[in-house]
């Protein structure tokens, strides 16, 4: 069976924990050298990560020098359709490669991290009344994507940066990941080691001894920022939430989603939708009926590819409050590969990715 592909994305508006500045550009094939400078407030921005992607795979990357400069050769550009520039603490920008004139200057806006207690505006709006205009905007967004059928497998390769920090450092990550990882998940799986939204809601209690290394935690949460990100366009999500409109950046639509069922583990948060009805960002807070629990996350998505495709993020964050101290566990994942297909196909592609130089960057 032929593999079904997907692409990456970016945050706008007020992302949750981690603000990642990123330039994403869609085009047909690039055919000339690309060089440029990344800046912030007219000053050079070193240590920004600049990447070249096909629709589903990173094929080259560079880090800006002290002058904020980067470049890619003709050979590196061959086959690329997406240019991504990332830097912790900056907003995201999108342009088409066909509109870029080399050398290109990329200006990124500073975006300070926000504490989880104030980031999800929907928490002050729930419960709320359903607004037909919000439902119509969500339906339009849903129609732009394919949904992963039950029984297919979702595979991803990604970089991780995780830490335990005091509240004032929440959202601050290193400029490079701590190692490459991969994950393969079967859509609709009822594995006892994963949260099943259909079976459990958005979280479940961890039984003693199930995860010995995490004995201090009492809840396991759905992976909404990674292999479960497609849930935001599924009918089950729409049925589970009341949708309302929020004020957002000019040209975008922001929707607050509030749970209908407040007895099961649930989520509430916001969706930011671009003018073309594609999803730009999702941010959420988990709610369980336990006073000391606090967790949430966000996921960043790309502009649409020319073909209708699956919804997968380019980056995501997860945070949870330490139950016994004023610290937070935080985890940033930057994705380098997405594949959807059969078990054998997806495992083969992920295994091959582990053997490439790009998986070691």
**What is the per-residue pLDDT across 300-320, written as a single tens digit (0 to 9) for each?**
888 777 666 889 888 888 998
For the four alpha carbons of 219, 201, 12 and 26, in that order, the dihedral sign comes to: positive
Residue 201 belongs to a domain: yes
Pairing of strands 309-310, 145-146: parallel
Tens-place pLDDT, residues 334-355? 888 899 999 999 999 888 888 8
Element (H, E) at 342: none
Based on the fold, state whether residues 249 and 310 are members of the same structural domain: yes
Is residue 361 pLDDT above 90, yes or no? no
From residue 159, give the alpha-carbon distance in Å to each of 103, 246, 272, 291: 29, 33, 25, 32
Q: Is 99 in the same domain as 245? A: no
Domain membership of residue 37 (yes or no) is yes
User: Residue with structure tokens 């069976």?
Assistant: 1
pLDDT in tens, 54-64: 777 778 888 88
66 plus 167 within the same structural domain: no
Residues 95 and 120 in one domain: no
pLDDT at position 4? 31
243 and 350 assigned to the same domain: yes
Backbone angles phi, psi at 342, to 5 degrees: -80, 165
User: What is the percent of the chain where pLDDT is above 70?
Assistant: 75
In a domain, 12, yes or no: no
Q: Running DSSP on this structure, what letter comes out for residue 4?
A: B
272 and 315, same domain (yes or no):
yes
Look at residues 107, 132, 163 and tell me which one is the last residue of a structural domain. Answer: 107
Domain span including residue 84:
20-107
In a domain, residue 45? The reply is: yes
Q: How confident is the model at residue 239, as a pLDDT?
A: 95
More confident site: 171 or 106: 106
Is 15 within the bounds of a domain?
no
Tokens standing for 77? 């550009």
Query: How far apart (Å, rounded) are the C-alpha atoms in residues 230 and 258?
Result: 18
């Amino acid at each position: 069976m032929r593999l079904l592909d997907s692409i990456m994305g970016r945050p706008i508006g007020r992302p949750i924990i981690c603000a990642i500045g990123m330039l994403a550009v869609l085009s047909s094939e690039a055919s000339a050298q690309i060089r440029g400078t990344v800046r912030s407030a007219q000053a050079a921005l070193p240590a920004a990560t600049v990447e070249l992607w096909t629709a589903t795979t990173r094929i080259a990357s560079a880090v800006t020098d002290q002058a904020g400069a980067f470049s890619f050769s003709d050979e590196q550009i061959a086959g690329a359709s997406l240019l991504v520039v990332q830097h912790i603490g900056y907003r995201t920008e999108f342009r088409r490669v066909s509109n870029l004139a080399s050398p290109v200057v990329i200006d990124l806006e500073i975006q300070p991290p926000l504490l989880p207690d104030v980031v999800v505006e929907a928490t002050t709006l729930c419960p709320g009344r359903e607004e037909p205009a919000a439902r119509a905007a969500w339906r339009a967004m849903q129609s732009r994507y394919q949904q992963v059928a039950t029984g297919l497998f979702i595979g991803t390769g990604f970089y991780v940066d995780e830490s335990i920090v005091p509240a004032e450092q929440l959202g601050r990550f290193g400029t490079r990941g701590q190692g490459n990882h991969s994950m393969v998940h079967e859509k609709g799986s009822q594995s006892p080691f994963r949260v099943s939204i259909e079976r459990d809601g958005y979280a479940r209690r961890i039984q003693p001894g199930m995860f010995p290394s995490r004995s201090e935690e009492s809840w396991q949460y759905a992976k909404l920022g990674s292999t479960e990100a497609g849930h935001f366009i599924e009918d089950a999500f729409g049925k589970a939430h009341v949708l309302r409109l929020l004020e957002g950046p000019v040209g975008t639509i922001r929707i607050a989603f509030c749970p209908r069922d407040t007895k099961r583990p649930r989520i509430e948060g916001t969706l930011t939708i671009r003018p073309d009805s594609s999803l730009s960002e999702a941010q959420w807070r988990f709610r369980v009926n336990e006073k000391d629990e606090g967790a949430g996350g966000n996921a960043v998505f790309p502009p649409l590819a020319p073909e209708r495709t699956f919804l997968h993020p380019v980056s995501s964050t997860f945070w949870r409050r330490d139950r016994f101290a004023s610290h937070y566990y935080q985890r940033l994942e930057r994705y380098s590969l997405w594949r959807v297909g059969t078990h054998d196909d997806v495992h083969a592609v992920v295994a091959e990715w582990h053997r490439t130089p790009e998986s070691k960057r």
